[in-house]
Amino acid sequence: NETLDEAEECMLESYCTKARIQDGMEILDLGCGWGSLCLYLCEKYPNAKITALSNSNTQREHINDLAKQKGFKNLNVITSDINEFDFETGSRFDRILSIEMFEHLKNYESLLKKLSGWLKPHGLLFFHIFCHHEQPYDFMVEDGWMGKYFFTGGTMPSADLFLYFQSNFKVIDHWIVNGSHYGKTSEEWVKLLDKNKRIALEYLKITYGQENAFAWFNRWRTFYIAVAELFNYNNGNE
């Protein structure tokens, strides 16, 4: 019976618990998106130093605007490509958290080696990924609709994939979350999209142009329905 906002807060809190975060730590939100996690960290841990990294300048501006509105002073947002970016010597973190970013990368060995150099001794990396219970697979443009419009070049990892990449990190905890939670979330997103169709179309006109707005509305609607079906399949255990 939770609202979407309540469910999101529960998940954000679970990240903090699993990552063993304490106030006063230096924390990196890697692939921060629109800022849900880094802004939550700023509020929950006012003495922590939060750095957020995204490859989108639009996302950086959005996060900075919200941080200013909330009066947060402990957040630094960086715009860069993780494949090319590196911190200056001496920048080290107690925790690195990454939510749904690893699915967009391929060279895990190189990535994890880089991240290991960004952590302090005894620091921890926590990341959240979507996954198939046993089979990893890629989304390529030529493979179909999802790869063409929403997940170009992405990968659906298997649940055990990162157990094979422990040269620079040792896995100490590994959790499986039933997919029906995300399936239900996507079903609620469809309802919100339908409820706010007029507003959504206005934003889609700005983003994709007048002539493409309606097509993109239906693509987003289809995407949410597809995600719900995908993650609800086999009672959320697939």
pLDDT digits (tens, 9 = 90+) for 52-89: 999 999 999 999 999 999 999 999 999 999 999 998 76
Residue 90 pLDDT class (50, 70, 90 cuts): low
Give residue 144's pLDDT. Answer: 83
Q: How far is CA 133 from the centre of its chain?
A: 19
pTM: 0.92
Q: How confident is the model over 191-219, as a mean pLDDT?
A: 97
**Per-residue pLDDT at 169:** 96
Q: What is the mean predicted confidence (pLDDT) over 134-142?
A: 84
Phi/psi at 226 (5° precision): -65, -45
Supply the pLDDT for residue 88: 78
| Angle of the 180-195 helix axis to the 4-18 helix axis, nearest 10 | 140
For the 4-177 domain, the top CATH level (class) is alpha beta
Q: What is the pLDDT of residue 204?
A: 97
Q: Is the dihedral of CA 16, 55, 92, 50 positive or negative?
A: negative
Question: Residue 152: its pLDDT value, please?
Answer: 82
